[in-house]
Structure 1
Amino acid sequence: MSTNAAKLATAKMALTLRSFFLLCAISGALCGGWNQFSQDNSCPKGWLRLGSQCYVYKPDLRTFADAERVCKTVGGNLVSIHNVVENAVVLELVRQSAISGIAWLGLQDAISDNAFLWTDGTVVDFKAFGEGEPDNTGNCVAIFAGNGFWKDESCDLEAPYVCIQDAKFCSSYYGNFGGAW
């Protein structure tokens, strides 16, 4: 291969790579695809996205039922937590914003003691109760900022809370490209 042909091949390869990275950057900017944990336009203003969910800490003091009503009004539910990462995100939201050191989660056992249900209807596949909990002092579950563990509390207790809702991704905002990208 001649020197000119080698330079031309190198230039084409560099252009192809630059185009590829530009396309990746554009699609990441539109869809938020580069970050699993971000504040982007797939969540309402002031909400934080982790994966396909949006989270927000609400500092106003509400009973469990009233907090769930507020979360439903804004398009979600009290937060359901399904793994250690989600628990850590919720705990950090509470720790950064907490006025009382406690916040409602969407978990309750009002129908039958220790038969916990999430208010959004998802499967209870993760729990982070502290030692000796739940102790049946209440039917609704809160997270404590100090130790990060969950505790059952009286549902009439007024506390801050965390809401969750599904993120709205590219197809909602930019149309469905049908794989054209």
Structure 2
Amino acid sequence: MEPNSMVGLFILVCLEGLFDPCTCLLDNAGRADIEAVRYRLQDEKEKRLFLENDVETMMLKLAELERRCRKDITPAESASSIQCPYAFSRGGNSCYLYVPVQSTWIEAQMYCRVFGGSLVSIETPEELTVLRDYLQSSNASIMVCLDGTDMLNEGVWHWTTSSGSQTMIGKARVGLWAGDMPDNGGQSEHCLALWKRSGRYDGNDQTCSSKLPFICEGK
């Protein structure tokens, strides 16, 4: 009998279940394939666990580096990193621009928005000191327009372009207002300006239609 005929007969006998060793051979082959797949899955699972451990370790290291960076950065370094809008000068934690253009309070507000800021407001005594120094170094006019008004409620002064408190703007004890201000002269002074008297700039109420130079603030 030809070899090919022998192979065909052997397969036929196996398929018909007439020869038990064939069944054993096929079962063993199937088990071997299953075991190979199982080993591969186990190997992939172990690799995944290793990768997850590596990622977790890297995340812990990253968190530690971020903590060290935050600890190493001082307030002075943080302030120095402030990027001011074009033509603005940095002062403390803010950016200032003195504009020597005679403008009403409303005009000054609009100009500052065009320049990329807002009419300056003063939120802390420290900022007031920085602003006074800036005006002195800028050879500013003896009176400059700021944000701040009591147009909505006479005698209740507030900022319109920041979260500055009414207490900060309204009480002489913080050092903003000149001792005899605000006086609402002529019953028509409802906008805030800084007036250079006795060598330094102090708060003064002015008519909102007065044309004054002004200061913009950008943050």
The alignment's TM-score, normalised by the length of structure 1, stands at 0.65
- Percent sequence identity is 27
- Mapped to 1, the partners of 2:90 and 2:141 lie a distance apart of 24
Question: Are 2:192 and 1:141 aligned?
Answer: yes
The gaps in structure 1 that reach 5 residues or longer are 1-23, 167-181
Q: What secondary structure does 2:161 align onto? A: coil
Number of residue equivalences: 138
Residue type of the alignment partner of 1:126: M
Off by >4 Å, runs of 4+ in structure 1: none
Q: Are residues 86 and 165 of structure 1, via their aligned partners in 2, closer, same or farther at CA, if it must alter by over 3 Å?
A: same
For the pair shown, the structure with the greater C-alpha radius of gyration is: 2
- Mapped to 2, the partners of 1:33 and 1:132 lie a distance apart of 36
Q: Which residue of 2 aligns with 1:34?
A: 77
CA RMSD, 1 decimal: 2.7
Residue among 204, 207, 218 paired with 1:151? 204
The CA deviation at 1:51 is 4.9
Q: What secondary structure does 1:118 align onto? A: coil
Contact 1:80 1:122 in 2 (8 A): no
- Mapped to 1, the partners of 2:85 and 2:140 lie a distance apart of 23
Q: What secondary structure does 1:110 align onto? A: coil
The CA deviation at 1:91 is 1.3
The CA deviation at 1:99 is 4.6
The alignment's TM-score, normalised by the length of structure 2, stands at 0.55
Deviations 1:22-50 (A, max 9, x none): xx8xx98xxx96263x5x67112331224
Q: What secondary structure does 1:150 align onto? A: strand
